[in-house]
Amino acid sequence: MKIAIIVIRVLQGAMYLFASISYFMEYMPKKPVMSAAQTTFMTGVAATVYLMPLIKITELLSGILLLIGRTAPLGALIIFPVTLNIFLYHLYLGQKELPVVGAMLLFNLFLFYAYRKKYLPILSK
């Protein structure tokens, strides 16, 4: 179980770190082929100006926290809304990457389960 926690934590942390760094360094292709619904959604996100950089900063911070290890429970907690939103986006707008995104969500839920003792003080009086 301990090795599985480390492997999943490092995979998820590295994935979010790579995604955020590639956004800021602009070395990945920016324009994938999107459906009309996806284009409408992404146009709305881009129109807010602040939302995509905020999401990528959150991914960067959480990726670092997950890779550090000691701060992994905080990283898993911070990145969960982003992971859930990515999953729902792919569920409703584009199912091409749904298995990969589903694995991301399962990894995050697994980390919640693995660190459940760390979260109990938040929920108790």
For the chain, the structural domain boundaries read: 2-123
Whether residue 38 contacts residue 96, with contact meaning beta carbons closer than 8 Å, is answered with no
Q: How far from the centroid of its chain's Cα atoms is residue 91's Cα?
A: 15
Whether residue 85 contacts residue 98, with contact meaning beta carbons closer than 8 Å, is answered with no
CB-facing half-sphere around the CA of 3: CA atoms within 13 A: 0
The DSSP line for 38-69 is HHHHHHHHHHTSSHHHHHHHHHHHHHHHHHHS
What are the structure tokens assigned to 72, written together? Answer: 């992994």
Share of residues in the chain with pLDDT > 90 (%): 73
Across the range 36-58, mean pLDDT stands at 92
Which one has a higher pLDDT value, 34 or 86? 86
The pTM (predicted TM-score) of the whole model is: 0.88
Confidence of residue 51 (pLDDT cuts 50, 70, 90): very high
Place of tokens 């990283």: 75
CB-facing half-sphere around the CA of 24: CA atoms within 13 A: 13
Per-residue pLDDT tens digits for 93-123:
987 889 999 999 999 999 999 999 999 888 8
Which one has a higher pLDDT value, 72 or 32? 72
Q: What is the pLDDT at residue 28?
A: 73
Q: What is the pLDDT at residue 57?
A: 96
